[in-house]
């Protein structure tokens, strides 16, 4: 199964991708995580990406398309994959179609997680993750069972993303509406687009997605 999760910053793409990855044994391809790894490497390309990301803008299509072209060839993608954060422009979507078509493959589902912009700024600004294992938490919606201790690995160190400051989140939302939302009519035309209510509880959103991908 090959699917895309589409939605603005904070819609819950990463949260839902992790559930799908476990349930259906799919590779989770998050371009945001790939870029953050590139930034952490300290390379020249990573430095350029950091500047763009901290301004809430999009990294160039060429870089992103090459990154995904290499990634989907890897062994763990043979059973299928979930794209989280890619494509983000029409040019990226067209390049993905070409990549899949050249191997006789196609997308099974594009799922739009629908949310309100106002709520997204709060959601993203309240988010943090375990430093050691990356498990995600939220000040309001998902706190560790024992305060200050990661549920998964027991670490007591947590971090917040640099691009999660409210002003940067607003710019990321603007980029979404200007450059990524045009993908909705693009995928509607090809008949693969479905929508879920992303304002519902996390488990409810998971159920909505499961019922789409299980049919």
Catalytic residues: 13, 88, 127, 161, 172
Among 6, 11, 39, 107, binds ligand AP5 (CB under 6 A): 11
DSSP three-state, residue 143: coil
Residue 77 sits in the site that holds ligand AP5 (CB under 6 A): no
Among 79, 136, 148, 152, binds ligand AP5 (CB under 6 A): 136
Which positions from 93 to 122 touch ligand AP5 by CB under 6 A, shown as an x/- string?
Answer: ------------------------------
CB of 97 to ligand AP5, least distance (A): 15
Applying CB under 6 A, what is the total number of residues that bind ligand AP5?
A: 36
Query: What's the token pair of residue 16?
Result: 């839902």
90-101 and 61-71 helices cross at what angle (nearest 10)?
A: 30
Smaller CB separation from ligand AP5, 110 or 198: 198
CB of 11 to ligand AP5, least distance (A): 4
Cα–Cα distance, 181 to 200 (Å, whole number) = 21
Judged by phi (left if over 0) then psi (alpha if -120 to 50, else beta), residue 104 lies in left
Which positions ≥6 away from 126 have C-beta within 8 Å? 138, 139, 140, 141
Residue 46 sits in the site that holds ligand AP5 (CB under 6 A): no
CB of 35 to ligand AP5, least distance (A): 5
Among 2, 6, 15, 112, binds ligand AP5 (CB under 6 A): 15
Element (DSSP H or E) covering residue 130: strand 127-130
Q: Please classify residue 127 by burial: count the beta carbons closer than 10 Å to its beta carbon, then call 0-12 exposed, 13-18 middle and 19+ buried.
A: buried
Among 19, 21, 52, 91, binds ligand AP5 (CB under 6 A): 52
Cis bond upstream, residue 87 (ω within 30): yes
């Amino acid at each position: 199964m090959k699917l895309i999760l589409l939605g603005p910053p904070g819609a819950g793409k990463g949260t839902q991708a992790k559930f799908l990855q476990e349930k259906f044994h799919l590779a989770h391809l998050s371009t945001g995580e790939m870029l953050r790894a590139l930034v952490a490497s300290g390379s020249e390309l990573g430095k350029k990406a950091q500047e763009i990301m901290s301004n809430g803008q999009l990294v160039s299509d060429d870089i992103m398309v090459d990154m995904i072209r290499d990634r989907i060839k890897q062994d763990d993608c043979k059973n299928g994959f979930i794209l989280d954060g890619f494509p983000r422009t029409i040019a990226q979507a067209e390049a993905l179609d070409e990549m899949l078509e050249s191997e006789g493959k196609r997308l099974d589902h594009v799922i739009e997680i629908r949310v309100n912009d106002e709520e997204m700024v709060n959601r993203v600004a309240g988010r943090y993750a375990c430093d050691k294992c990356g498990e995600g938490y939220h000040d309001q919606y998902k706190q560790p069972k024992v305060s200050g201790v990661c549920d998964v690995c027991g670490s007591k160190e947590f971090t917040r993303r640099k691009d999660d400051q409210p002003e940067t989140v607003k710019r990321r939302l603007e980029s979404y509406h200007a450059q990524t939302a045009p993908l909705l009519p693009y995928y509607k035309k090809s008949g693969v687009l479905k929508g879920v209510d992303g304002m519902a509880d996390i488990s409810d959103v998971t159920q909505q997605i499961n019922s789409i991908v299980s049919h």
